[in-house]
Amino acid sequence: MPTKLREPKDRRPVISAEALALFVELEGVPPRELERALYREKSKRLAGLLGLSMAWWRGQTVSDRSAKPAHGEGMCAHDDWHECRRLRELLLEMVTASHS
């Protein structure tokens, strides 16, 4: 029996209030504090809430403000950076919308 095969539609991910609040908190951390254990713990928690745990273990986070990926095409970290950037932009958009 034939089945209907189709490409999944791009959907906006569901981002919880907890994830958004944690993102805002981490955005407010001064750069000198970025390597502290508590920051890393919270960053790891945020990655889990956003479904980015594997990217976090490969060194990529939604807190990364760099203009381009540090790794070349074809590397997992390169793809992870783009996924984190896409979610970062969505999170920033949500923060802006909640403040207007």
* Residue boundaries of the structural domains of the chain: 17-98
Band of the pLDDT at 35, cuts 50, 70, 90?
confident
Tell me the DSSP string of 23-85. Answer: HHHHHTS-GGGTTSHHHHHHHHHHHHHHT-HHHHHTT--TT---SS-SS-TTSHHHHHHHHHH
Statement: residue 5 has pLDDT above 80: no
Q: What does the alpha-carbon distance between residue 22 and residue 90 come to, in Å, rounded to a whole number? A: 14
CB atoms within 10 A of CB 19: 22
Exposed / middle / buried, residue 64 (Cβ in 10 Å: 0-12, 13-18, 19+): middle
State the average pLDDT over residues 23-41: 87
- In tens, the pLDDT along 52-81 reads 999 999 999 999 999 998 888 988 889 999
pTM: 0.82
